[in-house]
Chains A and B, each alone.
Chain A
């Protein structure tokens, strides 16, 4: 098998279409993970009997089992049980979002714990209402600290999207697979898919590292 440059040129547009889907999945999935993660972190802290334990159990189970099975679970079991038929793309966004929310929940928890106790005490002394304490004092201090960690999870999510080809999402790897199946030449498309991932995730991880250094100086 030899490397054909004209075949590369032919494959690139198709792969870029796939890359767009991969990026969309990552961005939307991250949004779900960031919001849901905060909700999970707050629910776990809320000390509502039974509920916080259930949230804890949910986080542990989702974190220690494979994302691929969660995707199958949602796609083949949950949707039919609910009687709805969302697209494979939406299933991907939701599965990625929920899986990574269990990681970001822990990140938020660490960030919230890092807010000095004196801040809480001062807020109580000034009798600031509870919601105001969270939105005006605690979260604005907690969230900037955890931004690098959230960025890292976005990069991990980006690299995990290819497993969604199992339910037919047309992301980069699935496009490469399609291309390979048509021409029986898999060397170029699969190699290009790897290069595309490297081209995005390596610079991103350098940016996150820089952000980490900046946050470290806070």
Chain B
């Protein structure tokens, strides 16, 4: 009995690496795409705005699982090579959540008071300096809480990589299920704890970042309730 318990736990923990890699890779790609598309939506050029709109609405409008299937099963036939499952997963997670993140970036940049823009113009900052030195430092602090929610969504979406056999937690659990049918409580329990722990780590890191950045701006770091309370996703 204890042998099988150990086996179950170690098998599921064996998927932890893939889950963390997928989440971390997905988050990195999400951040890059969010800023690219979010700032592009504020561009003066109509074409740039249009292209970023198409990306954002296209990925938000189609289902994430459908995107995963398309990239993993259709694309190889079109381009002639198959992506490694984990890599394909990271790309889909990043593209999908980047589309949602773009709206966060756009909203946060727009929420910076206009007077800040005008002040920077009066000081004859170049448009790039205005963005990098005045607007973004303030906007980024506003972005952190919604990005926290988005990253937790992304973490939950890593379970979908089960469909392309990327070897992450959910898939490991489903491979165990037929063998250890009587210990499903343990299997799903261990999976659940893994996701909860990663979610808490993400939240703690985001909160620390928020504190550091807020202090740099000379703002009072926000007071929040206990860590667990904010682990949840968008309300």
A residues near B (Cβ < 8 Å) are 1, 59-61, 63-69, 72-73, 76-77, 102-103, 106-107, 109-110, 158-163, 165-166, 172-173, 176-177, 180, 186-187, 190-191, 193-195, 197-198, 201-202, 205
Residues of A within 8 A of B195 (CB): 64-66, 69
Q: Verify A64–B73 contact, CB threshold 8 A.
A: no
With A66-B156, A106-B235 as contacts: A187 and B61 at CB distance below 8 Å:
no
Query: Chain B interface secondary structure, helix, strand, loop or mixed?
Result: helix
Determine which of B60, B78, B231 lies in contact with A1 in the assembled complex, contact meaning CB atoms within 8 Å.
B78
With A177-B69, A193-B66, A194-B62 as contacts: A103 and B233 at CB distance below 8 Å:
yes
Interface membership of B52, Cβ < 8 A:
no
B residues near A (Cβ < 8 Å) are 57-58, 60-67, 69-70, 73-74, 77-78, 152, 156-160, 162-163, 170, 173-174, 177, 184-185, 188, 191-192, 195-196, 199, 228-229, 231-235
With A60-B232, A64-B152, A76-B184 as contacts: A159 and B64 at CB distance below 8 Å:
yes
Determine which of A63, A159, A202 lies in contact with B232 in the assembled complex, contact meaning CB atoms within 8 Å.
A63
Q: Verify B63–A197 contact, CB threshold 8 A.
A: yes
With A1-B78, A59-B232, A202-B57 as contacts: A197 and B160 at CB distance below 8 Å:
no
Smallest CB gap from B202: residue in A: A64
Q: Verify B188–A73 contact, CB threshold 8 A.
A: yes
Residues of B within 8 A of A64 (CB): 152, 156, 195-196, 199, 231-233
**Complex-state Cα separation, A173 to B72, whole angstroms:** 14
With A103-B235, A201-B61 as contacts: A187 and B77 at CB distance below 8 Å:
yes
Determine which of A72, A76, A186, A205 lies in contact with B73 in the assembled complex, contact meaning CB atoms within 8 Å.
A186
Smallest CB gap from A71: residue in B: B159
Residues of A within 8 A of B235 (CB): 103, 106-107, 109-110
Q: Verify B188–A173 contact, CB threshold 8 A.
A: no
Number of interchain pairs (Cβ within 8 Å):
126
Selected A-B contacts with CB under 8 Å, 24 pairs: A60-B232, A63-B233, A64-B152, A66-B157, A66-B158, A68-B159, A69-B170, A69-B191, A69-B192, A76-B184, A103-B233, A158-B63, A160-B64, A160-B65, A161-B63, A162-B63, A177-B69, A186-B77, A187-B74, A191-B70, A191-B74, A193-B69, A194-B67, A205-B60
**Complex-state Cα separation, A197 to B65, whole angstroms:** 11
Q: Verify B66–A194 contact, CB threshold 8 A.
A: yes
Contacts A64-B231, A194-B63, A197-B63 known; list 14 others, CB within 8 Å: A59-B232, A63-B233, A64-B156, A64-B195, A65-B156, A66-B170, A67-B156, A160-B63, A163-B65, A166-B163, A187-B74, A187-B78, A190-B74, A197-B61
Smallest CB gap from B203: residue in A: A64
**Complex-state Cα separation, A180 to B74, whole angstroms:** 10
Smallest CB gap from B185: residue in A: A77
Residues of B within 8 A of A205 (CB): 60-61
**Complex-state Cα separation, A172 to B65, whole angstroms:** 11
Smallest CB gap from A206: residue in B: B57
Smallest CB–CB gap between A66 and chain B, Å?
Answer: 3
Smallest CB–CB gap between A121 and chain B, Å?
Answer: 26
Determine which of B70, B188, B233 lies in contact with A69 in the assembled complex, contact meaning CB atoms within 8 Å.
B188
**Complex-state Cα separation, A63 to B233, whole angstroms:** 6
Residues of B within 8 A of A187 (CB): 74, 77-78
Smallest CB gap from B193: residue in A: A65
Smallest CB gap from A109: residue in B: B235
Residues of B within 8 A of A77 (CB): 184-185, 188
Smallest CB gap from A200: residue in B: B61
With A186-B74, A186-B77 as contacts: A198 and B156 at CB distance below 8 Å:
no
